[in-house]
Structure 1
Amino acid sequence: MGGGGDDAGKPVAAMVVVQVVFAGVNIVYKLAVSDGMDMRVLVAYRYLFASAFLAPLAYFIERRNRTKLTWRVVVLSFICGLTGGSLAQNLYISGLKLTSATFATATTNLIPAVTFLLALIFRYERLAIRTFSGQAKLAGTFLGVAGAMLLTLYKGADITPWHSRSRHHAAEAEAEATNRAMGSLLCISSCFIYALWLILQAKLSKEYPFHYSSTAIMCVMSTLQSVALALCYDSRDVARWRLGLDVRLLSVVYSGVLASGVMLVVLSWCVKRRGPLFASVFNPLMLLVVAVLSSLLLGERLHLGSALGAVLIVMGLYAVLWGKGRETNKVADEDAKVVVGDLLPTTADHQQQPE
């Protein structure tokens, strides 16, 4: 009995660790950018380290079952690397630089609602507007959009529960409204690009159902794209690529090996054990951790507009997830009834039974 309880609690504990580590990515990103590290170089190194970690892992785990790569899979991997990696991350870090770690993290909770909208467009989802679950998903989408607009347009009073001081505080306090609006646009654009990746990733998983190998290939593609993007935008100076024993090395190792490497494996295990809906429910935990850490370590201020916007986005997230979960359960119940109906003997079967 005790062992069963421990097994049931392992996915919960694992998802808490995943969200804490993902929250740390936002902190080290902000620290590296504040230290003067080129954003595009940071993204390129992240996927380089992730590729170096995942490629051997994929080789040893899936070498016996993996099928040969086709050009279709390579092209899909390239597009997934662009949408889920290089482009999405460059937009996100650019937005984070202009706003704050808490603000950027809050916008990521838009991803389920944006994914739902894109899934409707590409006909991966249907909107049953007359059902309660369909109305919940639609309402959740509108709540998420309203929260994003509130985050962007309204700052409000300083509601930081403690008064921390750091060298980052002055820069944050002097941030202009123009930068905040541009940063909001970049963060929200990153959410749209990432949501598009989720749609494409579903297609890639059907074409090439080898999780470790497809992820490693995607990271390699993201590395090549990120390096090319960095070289095209004035990052040809060797000094910008030099890593020492400082926060820059910490940021690329942490985000590449720990977040994109180790935590990806842990996240995959949780999804396999409890499903994607279970994993999604823990997303708002990252926002809470980032809000606390960014205020303590970076001296960022929490404002009323950010808090209210984050609350609306999280409410929208749970509405979409609840609606989706209700629909999934309904489909499962209907499938179970069909299976039971097929197994039950019919009247004709009874008539054929010998007396």
Structure 2
Amino acid sequence: MVGKLEQLLEWLKPVMAMAVFEIAIGGVNILYKLATKDGMIVKIMIAYRMLFAAVSMVPLALIGEWNSRPKLTKRIFFLGFFLSIFGGSLSQNLYGESLALTSATFVAAMTNLIPAMTFVMAIILRMESLSIKTNIGKAKVLGTILSIAGAMVLTFYKGREIKLWSTNINLLHQDHHDMSEQSSRNQALGGFLGVASAVSMAVWMILQAKLSMEYPPYSATALMSLCASIQSVVYALCTERHWSAWKLGWNVRLLTVVYGGVVASGLMVALMAWVARRRGALYIASFHPLLLIVVALAGSLMLDEKLHLGSLLGAVFIIVGLYVVLWGKSKELKTVAVED
């Protein structure tokens, strides 16, 4: 009985960790919407987030990996520099702009494209074999097509409104007629930026696989956060020179950048690294749809976001595509393990 209880606890630990991770990341989406509604410029928001991420991760890396961290070579530095572009400054700016133009639920659905985009990038770079004649290859191709089709539906088809409930709470204080007009104007651009963010994150995941073999996780994250903070600040300064826009104050802007940097890009990265060591990258990817559920619930309850048929159908296509790709990849890993 004791042995079974211990096994159950061991199984529950990573499950609860990933649940906490997805809920925490969902909070970023809600706060991003509130901060942009308050007038905060996305570029400045990302710059502050990366700064707070660096401040939280550098001490963690110095203390936690003091003895295990190898020498920082030029190769590792440049790999970390490019990681910071695709996984930090570029992807986060694209993500933030997409969120500002669309909705928290829309962008959360787009994050499920990342595994499919990673597979496409890996094929282009010849890091993955297509193997279209095998069931594994067919599954990965089918899953990718379903995910991309879902993204197209989510972007270009709205459909009728699906009414689940209404709390009459709208922290954005935005008129629904204005929201409808804005959505019709910005949905396509926001969708394009969301897909571009997923592609950027896919490149990051490929590069991350290389760096993780040479550098410990906390130090790699600290290096990426430090470089991303410099890139983001330089980009924001070049495009926004009015110092009044950089003021934070004790408001939702400060809460957003501190939470996004310290919690999402700091503590949650460490938590994800812990789960990855125990269960692997596929296990983490399988929890991506939970983010969509969390954000959809929070968005409808707090932001009074409306769910439409197109959003529901697109999200279903993307999630089904995600799990088909993951199924094919898991079968491939098992086949390789048996052959070894």
Superposition TM-score, scaled by structure 1 size: 0.91
1:219 aligns with 2:225: yes
Query: 188, 199, 221: which is aligned to 2:195?
Result: 188
Could you tell me whether the CA contact under 8 Å between 1:120 and 1:127 is conserved in 2?
A: yes
Unaligned stretches of 5+ residues in structure 2: none
CA distance in 1, matches of 2:223, 2:174: 37
Equivalent residue runs for 1:111-126 within 5 Å:
111-126=114-129
Query: 266, 280, 298: which is aligned to 1:275?
Result: 280
Could you tell me whether the CA contact under 8 Å between 2:84 and 2:225 is conserved in 1?
A: yes
Paired residue for 1:231?
A: 237
Q: CA offset at residue 3 of structure 1?
A: 2.2
Paired residue for 1:249?
A: 254
Q: CA offset at residue 5 of structure 1?
A: 1.6
Superposition TM-score, scaled by structure 2 size: 0.95
Paired residue for 1:305?
A: 310
Structure whose CA Rg is larger: 1
Query: 27, 33, 41: which is aligned to 2:36?
Result: 33
Query: 69, 74, 79: which is aligned to 1:71?
Result: 74
Could you tell me whether the CA contact under 8 Å between 1:110 and 1:313 is conserved in 2?
A: yes
Most deviating of 296-305 and 155-164: 155-164
Q: CA offset at residue 169 of structure 1?
A: 4.5
CA distance in 1, matches of 2:58, 2:36: 28
Paired residue for 1:205?
A: 212
Q: CA offset at residue 164 of structure 1?
A: 4.4
Could you tell me whether the CA contact under 8 Å between 1:146 and 1:309 is conserved in 2?
A: yes
CA distance in 2, matches of 1:154, 1:93: 22
169 and 315 in structure 1: CA distance in 2 versus 1, 3 angstrom threshold: farther
Could you tell me whether the CA contact under 8 Å between 1:169 and 1:300 is conserved in 2?
A: no
Give deviations 1:196-228, integer Å, cap 9, x for gaps: 11111122223x322111110100110001001
Paired residue for 1:323?
A: 328
CA distance in 2, matches of 1:284, 1:290: 10
1:21 aligns with 2:24: yes
Give deviations 1:246-279, integer Å, cap 9, x for gaps: 1111111111111111111111111111111111
Could you tell me whether the CA contact under 8 Å between 2:70 and 2:215 is conserved in 1?
A: no
Query: 119, 134, 138: which is aligned to 2:137?
Result: 134
1:146 aligns with 2:152: no
CA distance in 1, matches of 2:339, 2:224: 37
Q: Which amino acid aligns with 2:185?
A: T
Q: Which amino acid aligns with 1:110?
A: L
CA distance in 2, matches of 1:294, 1:83: 27
CA distance in 2, matches of 1:176, 1:318: 29
Could you tell me whether the CA contact under 8 Å between 1:168 and 1:298 is conserved in 2?
A: no
Could you tell me whether the CA contact under 8 Å between 1:172 and 1:300 is conserved in 2?
A: no
- Equivalenced residues, count: 333
Task: For residue 198 of structure 2, give the secondary structure of its aligned residue in structure 1.
Answer: helix
Could you tell me whether the CA contact under 8 Å between 2:23 and 2:291 is conserved in 1?
A: yes
Unaligned stretches of 5+ residues in structure 1: 336-355
Give deviations 1:90-136, integer Å, cap 9, x for gaps: 11111111111101111110100000000011111111111111111
Q: CA offset at residue 157 of structure 1?
A: 0.5
CA distance in 1, matches of 2:230, 2:154: 34
CA distance in 2, matches of 1:238, 1:323: 51
CA distance in 2, matches of 1:307, 1:320: 20
CA distance in 1, matches of 2:8, 2:297: 31
Could you tell me whether the CA contact under 8 Å between 2:136 and 2:328 is conserved in 1?
A: yes
Could you tell me whether the CA contact under 8 Å between 2:101 and 2:183 is conserved in 1?
A: no
CA distance in 1, matches of 2:13, 2:67: 29
Q: C-alpha root-mean-square deviation of aligned residues, in Å? A: 1.2
Q: CA offset at residue 4 of structure 1?
A: 2.5
CA distance in 2, matches of 1:274, 1:203: 19
176 and 287 in structure 1: CA distance in 2 versus 1, 3 angstrom threshold: closer
305 and 329 in structure 1: CA distance in 2 versus 1, 3 angstrom threshold: same
CA distance in 1, matches of 2:125, 2:239: 33
Q: CA offset at residue 81 of structure 1?
A: 0.5
Task: For residue 243 of structure 1, give the secondary structure of its aligned residue in structure 2.
Answer: coil
Q: Which amino acid aligns with 2:138?
A: Q
Q: How many percent of aligned residue pairs carry the same amino acid?
A: 49
